[in-house]
Structure 1
Amino acid sequence: MTMPRFSLQGRRTLVTGASSGIGRAVALGLAEHGADVAIHHFGNESGARDVARTIGGNVPVFEADFTDSAATQAFADAVIEQCGRIDILIANAAIEHRLPWREVNDAHIDKHVASNFATLLTLTNRFVPPMMERGWGRVVATGSIMATRPRAETVVYASLKAAQLTAMQGIAREVGHRGVTMNVVSPGAIEIEANAVRYEDPAFRRAVVAKIPVGRQGRPEDLVGAFVFLCSDAAGYITGANIPVDGGWSIGDAPGALPQAAE
């Protein structure tokens, strides 16, 4: 039985990037705790519809390319028109294109900035003020261990995850007294559909696992508890926080970690 303080019954929730991986797990987890969920995807209609069917009922499904600012604005308009209000925003969608740092170009930077940073500001600007007026709201963004343990080939992605945390904390200071909390959940090495092929390589898997104190890579389901907690009334006194869900990797490599281990 769901404890009342952790119940999300009746809370209207938008999860971006919800068609697979972490977003899918979080959308299902929030729905399990009573939230009315709307989901966003880009280019994965079948995955999004599968999530909607799994949740059951009337689950709105939206598609938008967050590298396009006009599309992001139109997406926000459509959500408001169809859902009426959003009580909980899960800012999960992001792109991570790896590129040697000496090959980084304007197009690479612009796409990451639009999708991984500007979209956060656009969506909070649209959804947070109404939350403030109602006196209750939650924004939880998916961060990354790379914000504090960056790699050269993901320098743009990692830098923007750090910027995301700064933005969330800055806004959190302004909206907390109106009942809106804003927090970040930062995964470590999580095996999802997008990187499943890499994890099929035994050498890669061993190298990753060797660095993680709990001794295994993460799964999307490992993150759900943190999101549910931060979205609930039980976490009403927590804002501007960054919760690592990384098997302890952020506190340091496991003893005996392989020096060549890669994320």
Structure 2
Amino acid sequence: MSELYRFIHAEKANYPIGLLCRVLHMARSSYYACLEGEAARRARQSADDALAHEITVLHLASRRTYGVARIHAEPRRLGRRVNRKRIARVMRERDIRGSTRRKHRSLTPPDKKATPAPDLIDRDFHADTPGTKLVGDITYLPTAEGWLYLACWLDLATRKVVGYAMADHHRAEPGVDALDMTHGRGGLEPGCVIHSDRGSEYTSTPFRARIRELRLRQSCGRTGSCFDNAAAKSFWALLKEEIGTRI
């Protein structure tokens, strides 16, 4: 609303609106149109504020990880339609942002001196029987005391984490310890395939020796191809997004 319209609105209790419009050389219809527009703008602002409150609650409940897509899905799941572009605008105006997955960065280089195991998975990340095909990887998570390295093994039949280990380094020990936990829980079939990338943790002598001791079969993807271990990489991406590490 312009200054002239604000002046008329403020003085209409003291003078007739028609007189004020004539003195200011303004049509009465223009004043009433502006008045109606101001009411509509206030109604839209009130609706945006209510939507922003709902978005904030959902965003905080997701540990500040949900972006426009997931925020938009929640009202639709409850049977209420909200325009996606409107949600994006409200989040942008209030600087509400979700976490994004960053480009994958390899944790450790392969051991070029070691002969890698063959790829027994060949990107077939399915298994009918538990304990026959496992995929694993190691990643890093930020903590108040520095980087925490987490290794895990995932059963492709159940999609459950069957073994894990943590350490303040990413040498061979976390991968071996996670494998020992998996074996200790039982359920591994003879000749179970243990698949990973060609990082130095998995081509190391201690890890390969432990594979032989447990009578398992080692499998490794190609160098520099994250898709050869996509099931494990996807698990890390989802875990980091849910806990909000944003790395």
**TM-score scaled by length of structure 2:** 0.28
**TM-score scaled by length of structure 1:** 0.26
Greater helix percent: which structure?
A: 1
